[in-house]
Structure 1
Amino acid sequence: MGAQLVKDKDSILQRYARVLKVLGNPLRLKIVTALMEKRCRVGKLTDCVNEKLPIISQQIAILRKEGLIEGDRDKNSIKYRIKDRFTKNLIQFVLKELNKENDY
């Protein structure tokens, strides 16, 4: 059953592999984790992940290109949020594991 399921879902598995590769960068993982709590502007993300604006903007572009996040215009700025369901589920798992680590 497992082998057939994998064969039938090849394109989905390729998409998941791309998401995992993109989130393999610690800064991008931090950005997406910060976006789990609420939609954020780039300026707010710089505070959340303690990184400079140009670096955050570069990582945002990569996350947008892969379809993991999207931006909604809010007057003069853009608020970003997680777009991809798989990414949301993955980050929820990561946050749950981080909470377990804090319990040790």
Structure 2
Amino acid sequence: MPDRRAQLDTLRIHLGALVAMLRLDWDCTWTRHFESCLSRAELLAKDAPDQDALNALSGAVMHVFGGMGSFNDYAPWRNGQVIRGMEGLDAASGAVYDAALELRRIDA
């Protein structure tokens, strides 16, 4: 059985890193979404969340990835250059997605 508390902690760490990065772009419309997800994760970490609550958090995180107009389309550019400090955005967002997916995975 997976350690859901450890998985939630991993997601919290990755969300925190992503939020810190997104805050470097004052025009980023996605920051608020990930801040909200981080707040939800922090609240869940204070209790003993059930799998339904963890699945809801995972779904909230993951639903902005994929499709036209999604977070995947976000480009951290200003004046023709990547915003300083956001060079690792792809890795950070990938880590958030993977951690959210792992949190909802049910192993047989």
TM-score by length of 1: 0.30
**Structure with more relative contact order (C-alpha pairs < 8 Å, separation 6 or more):** 2
- Quick check: which has more Rg, 1 or 2? 1
TM-score by length of 2: 0.29
Higher strand share: 1
Higher helix share: 1
